[in-house]
């Protein structure tokens, strides 16, 4: 399998990206990596050239570039070249830690949508606290406005991912809503509830509330991109603030605090590990003809390696091809039924 890597994307690029690739290739000798970016800079971190091809380009997309413009005008940017390789069948997946909006645009306009999926969604596997588990949530912000039908797409996408990539037989799909009762919700979620209830290819368990997400209320959580984005950022912001507050409170407690912190080192590390969802990989722009994966701009080599593992599983299980087949069958059935 061939992964196109935007080596220039992210705050610590190309160092963190290339070091992550070096970590990952030890584990996955079956991956051929294509590193797009400045050859001289990339080469500094290539400790072993096997499985590696560098495709040189001087141009890159910056974090403050306007996404769609950047994709259209910077035709030789590392991200654009990587996406082009996927489009033209020279690579099987693309990975970037760069400008999220630009990667979404590259995914939509260069890699292209699966037929039957109107609005691909951004999906991450988030942590379930106290269990070695996670839940997949989408859309996390690829779209600012969604229709009820999109949420059904997300339920199907999330189900396929949870089954194939995370190995859950019958993933429980929940609809994020403002109450668990069937009658609750906005115009959007009420209609989505109806459609999800009628969808045969998923196991819909009803509404779930944001308060219960980290408790594992569902294996797949579907929501519109605006709400998903707000929920993701609320969870991240609260966790960061609480851990920061704990740290500063410990510091302020002087010698006693420092001693306490030493004794609680393992416990505190456990808390941090549980919340760290980078181990599940990056965010997938899901619903495209190939895996398009994004990690945080501030990502380090280990998170890059986790993400490559995730892409490896996506390619190994051929989840995208199965989605394509699913939508072809569904569309064919619908057409034959309507004839």
Residue 191 — φ and ψ, nearest 5°? -70, -40
- β-pair partners for 292: 94
Query: Between the CA of residue 270 and those of 236, 273, 275, what are the distances in Å?
Result: 17, 5, 9
Instruction: Note whether 180 binds a copy of itself by CB under 8 A.
Output: no
Cα separation, 52 vs 40, in Å, equals 14
CB of 276 to a copy of itself, least distance (A): 12
- Closest contact distance (angstroms) between CB of 121 and a copy of itself is 14
CB of residue 104 vs a copy of itself: minimum separation in angstroms? 12
Can you read off the two tokens belonging to residue 51? Answer: 């499985």
Alpha helix stretches (DSSP H) within 202-300: 225-252, 254-263, 265-275
Residue 162 CB, shortest distance to a copy of itself, in Å, is 21
As measured in angstroms, the least distance from the Cβ of 128 to a copy of itself is: 9
Q: Count residues near a copy of itself (CB under 8 A).
A: 61
Phi, psi (deg, nearest 5) at residue 155: -65, -40
Told to check if 69 binds a copy of itself by CB under 8 A, we report: no
**Closer to a copy of itself at the Cβ: 188 or 308?**
188
Residues 272 and 290: their CA atoms lie apart, in Å, by: 32
Instruction: Please state, in angstroms and rounded to a whole number, the distance separating the CA atoms of residues 174 and 88.
Output: 37
Give residue for tokens 């069937």.
Answer: 182
- Is residue 295 part of the contact set for a copy of itself (CB under 8 A)? no
Looking at the DSSP bridge assignments, the partners of residue 33 are 3, 52
Contact with a copy of itself (CB under 8 A) among 51, 124, 207, 227: 227
Residue with tokens 């605090």: 257
Distance of CA 45 to the CA centre of its chain: 26
d(Cα 329, Cα 338) in Å, to the nearest integer? 14
Which of these segments, 81-89, 176-184, 298-306, 320-328, binds a copy of itself (CB under 8 A)? 176-184
DSSP state of 241: H
Binding residue for a copy of itself, selected from 10, 225, 282, 291, defined by CB under 8 A: 225
Quick one: how far is CA 131 from the chain centroid?
Answer: 20
Binding positions for a copy of itself, 199-218, rule CB under 8 A: 209-215
Interface characters, 239-278, with a copy of itself (x: CB under 8 A): xxxxxxxx-xxx-xx--xx-xxxxxx-xxx-xx--xx---
State yes or no: residue 185 binds a copy of itself (CB under 8 A): yes
Task: Enumerate residues 88-127 that contact a copy of itself by CB under 8 A.
Answer: none
Nearer to a copy of itself, 209 or 302 (CB): 209
* Closer CB to a copy of itself, 205 or 230, in the complex: 230
CA distances from 220 to 120, 196, 207, 234, 328 (A): 16, 13, 11, 18, 23
Q: In which region does residue 89 sit, left (phi positive, over 0), alpha (psi from -120 to 50) or beta (all else)?
A: left
Residue whose CB is less far from a copy of itself, 32 or 250: 250
Residue 298 interacting with a copy of itself (CB under 8 A):
no
Examine residue 84 and tell whether it contacts a copy of itself (CB under 8 A).
Answer: no
**CA 160 centroid distance within chain:** 14
Binding characters for a copy of itself, 131-170, by CB under 8 A (x = yes): ----------x--xx-------------------------
In terms of CB distance, is 264 or 332 closer to a copy of itself?
A: 264
Q: Which residues bind a copy of itself (CB under 8 A)?
A: 129-130, 141, 144-145, 176, 178, 184-187, 189, 209-215, 223, 225-227, 229-246, 248-250, 252-253, 256-257, 259-264, 266-268, 270-271, 274-275
């Amino acid at each position: 399998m061939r992964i196109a890597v935007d080596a220039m994307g992210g705050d610590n690029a190309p160092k963190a990206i290339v070091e992550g690739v070096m970590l990952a290739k030890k584990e996955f000798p079956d991956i051929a990596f294509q590193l797009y970016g400045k050859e001289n800079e990339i080469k500094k971190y290539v400790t072993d050239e096997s499985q590696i091809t560098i495709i040189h380009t001087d141009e890159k997309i910056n974090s403050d570039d306007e996404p769609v413009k950047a994709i259209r005008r910077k035709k030789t940017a590392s991200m654009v070249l990587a996406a082009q390789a996927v489009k033209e069948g020279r690579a099987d997946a693309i990975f970037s830690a760069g400008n999220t909006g630009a990667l979404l645009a590259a995914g939509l306009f260069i890699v292209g949508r699966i037929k039957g999926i109107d609005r691909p969604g951004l999906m991450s596997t988030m942590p379930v606290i106290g269990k070695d588990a996670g839940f997949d949530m989408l859309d996390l912000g690829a779209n600012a406005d969604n229709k009820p039908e999109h949420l059904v797409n997300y339920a199907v996408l999330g189900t396929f991912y949870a089954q194939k990539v995370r190995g859950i037989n019958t993933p429980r799909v929940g609809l994020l809503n403002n109450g668990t009762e069937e009658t609750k919700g906005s115009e959007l979620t009420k209609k989505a509830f109806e459609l999800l209830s009628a969808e045969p290819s998923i196991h819909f368990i009803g509404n779930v509330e944001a308060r219960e997400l980290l408790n594992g209320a569902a294996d797949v959580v579907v929501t519109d991109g605006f709400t998903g984005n707000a929920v993701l950022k609320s969870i991240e912001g609260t966790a960061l603030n609480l851990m920061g507050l704990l740290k500063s409170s410990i510091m302020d407690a002087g010698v006693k605090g420092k001693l306490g912190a030493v004794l609680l080192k393992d416990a505190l590390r456990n808390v941090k590990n549980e919340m760290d969802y980078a181990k599940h990989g990056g965010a997938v722009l899901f619903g495209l003809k190939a895996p398009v994966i994004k990690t945080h701009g501030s990502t380090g080599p280990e998170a890059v390696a986790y993400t490559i593992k995730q892409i490896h599983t996506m390619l190994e299980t051929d989840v995208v091809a199965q989605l394509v087949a699913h939508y072809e069958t569904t569309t064919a059935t619908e057409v034959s039924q309507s004839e």
